[in-house]
Amino acid sequence: QLQLVESGGGLVQPGGSLRLSCAASGSLDAYAIGWFRQAPGKEREGVSCVTSANTDINYVDPQKVRFTISRNYAANTVLLQMDSLKSEDTAIYYCAATTRWCTNDWRDFGSWGQGTPVTVSS
């Protein structure tokens, strides 16, 4: 099974930026990769997803103003650039892989990383 590892989380002030990275034990090219987040006491929600054909979908930021997902094929990673962060973006962020199409339902994804915490606070 594909092993995923997230990195890049941390503490940032409101309005700041972070770039999360998802690395894997094998090639990510054939997988749709999703970023999800889960805040304390809340359901896990889809943030963004990129298909194996490199089409991206944003669920929490449909205008793609604050969150941008991208693949780095050379490094075999999927990045989530997060700008203009707000306190409500505070959560554990996870990347996940599926051999099917992108969805914002975490149950459609079979491989998960351990998560990286993001805290937006002054």
Environment class of 8 (CB within 10 Å of its CB; exposed 0-12, middle 13-18, buried 19+): middle
* Whether the predicted pLDDT of 92 surpasses 90: yes
Give per-residue pLDDT as tens, 99-122.
999 999 999 999 999 999 999 999
Give per-residue pLDDT as tens, 51-90.
999 999 999 888 878 999 999 999 999 999 999 999 999 9
